[in-house]
Amino acid sequence: MGRLPLIGRLSFHEYLALLVGFSLLALETLLRSIILLLPKPIVNWFYERSQILFDRFTSVAKKRGQTVEEVVSNAVRTAKDFGELCSYYGYAHEEHVVMTKDGYLLTLHRVPEPKGQMPAPTPVNKPVVYLHHGLLMNSEVWVCLTDEERCLPFVLAEQGFDVWLGNNRGNKYSKKAVHRSPTSSKFWDYSLDDFAWHDIPDSITYILARTHVCSLSYIGFSQGTAQAFAALSLHPQLNQKVNVLIALAPAISPAGLSARVVDALMKASPTSVYLFFGRKAILSSTPTWQAIFYPPIFTYIIDGALRFLFAWRGDNIASSQKIAAYAHLYSYTSVKAVVHWFQIMRESAFQMYDDDVSTGGALHGRAYRPTRFPTRNITTPVLLVYGAVDSLVDVDAMLRELPEHTRVCRLEGYEHLDILWGRNVHKDVIPEVVNALRVHCETPDSMCVGMKVFERDNAEKR
């Protein structure tokens, strides 16, 4: 007789949460199906009505001209892709496609020159830096800021860096594979393991071959840091190709969600996520709802979700920045990748994906333990930059998993997303990144002039 994996492992409240969750998911699916069938004029009518209602019940009801801040925010929000975001600020960009060893096609973005300059026809001896996004994101999150001085890729380009930005398989820019269609479940059958085995090392290998340098500097955000930790631990030779790993809002084994019922439910059976969302892309309806709701309303919804799940208040991010950035926040990833994170949280260990979904890892005395990423073996210099009030970071637990040469920078009052989009990242975050790069990056002499200008400007602002 088949065994039901949830029986006996959930409390009454958790079963109730499961029932409510399924009901809400069914309602959302029904509404989305109806919306997809509606003509565009009707969809636009709902969008306009949401704007009228918002203006009626908020302080912005009075008609007035847009401020400069609002003009910039709207331009960033409505930019369709990475290229338009760069063009708005006057930066040239390139797109490159990498095929991983298992056949996925990944897009790499590049900002090779300072503002207003075109890429050189031949390779230039510049230090190379690689930035990688977090969970449910793409490369746009690095450049969707409302002013240049807070935009890390643009600052680094001005400092003389050759800036590259990666994208995970399955997201907006990498939704194609040689042997698998994105409409099939097989395309979405990937987890952190695949990012570590293929996406990160294959992207780095391509960049080094293209730029003719021996090593690059890696800057990751959230899951982008976990992917680097995993890749460096699995590929010893990769440590020779990465001269420093700067981990912003680092993630290895988060304690869990602040929403206790959801946290308990997912930890009791992470594979219940499959029951909610299937086995393809997770939250794939997000773009639909984003198109329906007036941007400030959509911002309130995202803020509410982040507060419920992670207890993030978002006070350090300006409202105009949220409206601009939240439009670029979501990108596709697999349900399996999210399940992998819940497995890690349940076991409190940075481990590979547990394929034994029948037990869910909850049975005592089973004959095996999922393999852990051997992160203590990383030889690349590591800097952790984290927020003191980030609910996803337990720095003490993290340091137990990482090599002894890991350095730490604690930012008081910072939450998770603040490190990307906070009001003062140009004062608190970017200087830490630049200083670490100055110590470790390859060919630092080419940065000297840019560094002096950066330090002078930063001193004046302080």
The set of catalytic residues is 222, 390, 416
Backbone φ/ψ region at 355: left (φ over 0), alpha (ψ -120 to 50), beta = alpha
User: What angle do helix axes 260-268 and 12-37 make, rounded to 10 degrees?
Assistant: 100
DSSP states along 201-241: HHHHHHHHHHHT-S-EEEEEETHHHHHHHHHHHH-GGGGGT
Side-chain half-sphere CA neighbours of 449 within 13 A? 4
Please give the sequence-ordered ranges of beta strands (E in DSSP) within 362-434, or none if there are none.
382-387, 407-411
CA distance 436 to 44: 48
Q: How far apart are the first and last CA of the chain?
A: 69
Read off the tokens for 153.
């890729």
How far is residue 441 CA from its own chain's centroid? Answer: 24
| Chain length of the chain | 462
Backbone φ/ψ region at 281: left (φ over 0), alpha (ψ -120 to 50), beta = beta
CA distance 300 to 307: 10
At a CB cut-off of 8 Å and minimum separation 6, what does 198 contact? 100, 101, 102, 104, 169
> Any idea what DSSP says for residue 66?
P
Q: Which residue has the tokens 């409302």?
A: 146
Contact 267, 4 (CB under 8 A): no
Read off the tokens for 408.
């730490």
With 0-12 / 13-18 / 19 or more C-beta atoms within 10 angstroms meaning exposed / middle / buried, residue 98 is buried
Nearest CA to 268 out of 205, 343, 336, 202 is that of 343
